């Protein structure tokens, strides 16, 4: 089993990150679109990564790390990491309706903390570093995370930001850190500020994260959130103020049925 960094030819920023990886981490070409170094693979795909359903399922991979662009209509420059999947009945950005892909809380915990280190090291002082909640495709059974850089849709990020993503991708592929707790998150906004803070300051690793704007979700989706985080967390952390009271009640009743413990974010 190998960890695989994935870049898409349909994403210019993704390909720029791949070039930095090849230049700086001694990747050797093995075959067309396949490079290796120190037990880590870099694979280039022709599809847009969001729509590459089944990604990595024939690669003997233990983790997929997708290097990606990020678009902010508000123009906020950010270095981000997140799991993928669709909580609701639509799959407008890849994947399948009401289906989330497998992910790793340890990989996400490592990536957010390494992104923070790299942003500090490279003096990316005007860049936000954070988690995003589970959203968009692709659908796959292989543990998968995205690591992204971006901001205004019409701008290519400065090279230092792409270097931060390349370094983070490589370091996550090399070794995963161990958080003190692993959990699934519920509530709050798309950029998961509460869960980001807990990851960076309280050593809590999050697998899937479900935001307020997709609520309510049903028992099956809640079950998926726990089962498709490979560390199999039995703890839910709720952004209490970031949930409506009836949604909180529904979640707590479902946690009781599933035998899941819960706590308010602190």
**Residues near 26 by beta carbon (within 8 Å), at least 6 away in sequence:** 37, 38
Residues 4/63, Cβ–Cβ less than 8 Å: yes
Residue 97 has pLDDT above 90, yes or no: yes
Q: How confident is the model at residue 56 (pLDDT cuts 50, 70, 90)?
A: very high
First-residue to last-residue Cα distance in the chain: 37
User: According to the model, what pLDDT value does residue 159 have?
Assistant: 97
Q: How confident is the model at residue 81 (pLDDT cuts 50, 70, 90)?
A: very high
User: According to the model, what pLDDT value does residue 165 have?
Assistant: 98
Is the domain 181-264 a CATH 3.40.50.10700 member? yes
* Tokens representing residue 213 in the block: 């704007």
Q: How confident is the model at residue 177 (pLDDT cuts 50, 70, 90)?
A: very high
In percent, the amount of the chain with pLDDT more than 90 equals 95
Residues 27/35, Cβ–Cβ less than 8 Å: yes
* Tokens representing residue 202 in the block: 């309280």
Mean pLDDT of 116-133: 97
User: According to the model, what pLDDT value does residue 112 have?
Assistant: 98
Residue 153 has pLDDT above 90, yes or no: no
Any idea which residue has 């799991």 for tokens? Answer: 83
Model confidence pLDDT, tens digit, residues 5-52: 999 999 999 999 999 999 999 999 999 999 999 999 999 999 999 999
Going from N- to C-terminal start, the domains of the chain cover 2-174, 181-264
Residue 115 has pLDDT above 90, yes or no: yes
Residues 23/60, Cβ–Cβ less than 8 Å: no
Average pLDDT, the chain: 97
User: According to the model, what pLDDT value does residue 72 have?
Assistant: 85
Name the helix (H) or strand (E) containing 14. Answer: helix 12-24
Domain 2-174 architecture: 3-Layer(aba) Sandwich (3.40)
- Indicate the DSSP class of residue 141: S
pTM (global) more than 0.85: yes
Q: Do the first three CATH levels of 2-174 and 181-264 match, i.e. the same topology?
A: no
C-alpha–C-alpha distance, residues 67 and 111, integer Å:
12
Residue 53 has pLDDT above 90, yes or no: yes
């Amino acid at each position: 089993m190998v960890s695989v960094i994935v870049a898409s030819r349909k994403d210019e920023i993704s390909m720029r990150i791949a070039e930095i990886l090849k230049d700086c981490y001694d990747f050797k070409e093995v075959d067309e679109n396949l490079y290796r170094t120190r037990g880590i693979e870099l694979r280039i795909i022709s599809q847009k990564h969001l729509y590459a359903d089944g990604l990595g399922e024939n690669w003997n991979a233990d983790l997929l790390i997708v290097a990606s662009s990020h678009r902010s209509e508000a123009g906020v420059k950010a270095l981000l990491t997140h799991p993928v999947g669709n909580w609701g009945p639509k799959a407008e950005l890849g994947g399948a309706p009401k289906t989330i892909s497998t992910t790793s809380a340890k990989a996400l915990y490592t990536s957010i903390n390494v992104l923070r280190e790299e942003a500090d090291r490279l003096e990316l002082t005007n860049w936000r570093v954070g988690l995003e909640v589970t959203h968009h495709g692709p659908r796959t059974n292989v543990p998968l995370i995205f690591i992204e850089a971006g901001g205004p849709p019409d701008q290519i990020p400065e090279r230092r930001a792409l270097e931060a993503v390349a370094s983070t991708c490589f370091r996550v592929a090399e070794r995963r850190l161990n958080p003190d707790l692993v959990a699934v998150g519920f509530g709050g906004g798309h950029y998961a500020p509460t869960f980001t803070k807990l990851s960076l300051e309280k050593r809590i690793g999050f697998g899937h994260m479900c935001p307020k704007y997709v609520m309510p979700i049903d028992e099956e989706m809640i079950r998926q959130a726990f089962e498709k985080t490979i560390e199999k967390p039995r703890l839910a952390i709720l952004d209490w103020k970031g949930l409506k009271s009836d949604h909180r009640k529904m979640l707590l009743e479902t946690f009781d049925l599933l035998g899941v413990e819960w706590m308010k974010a602190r």
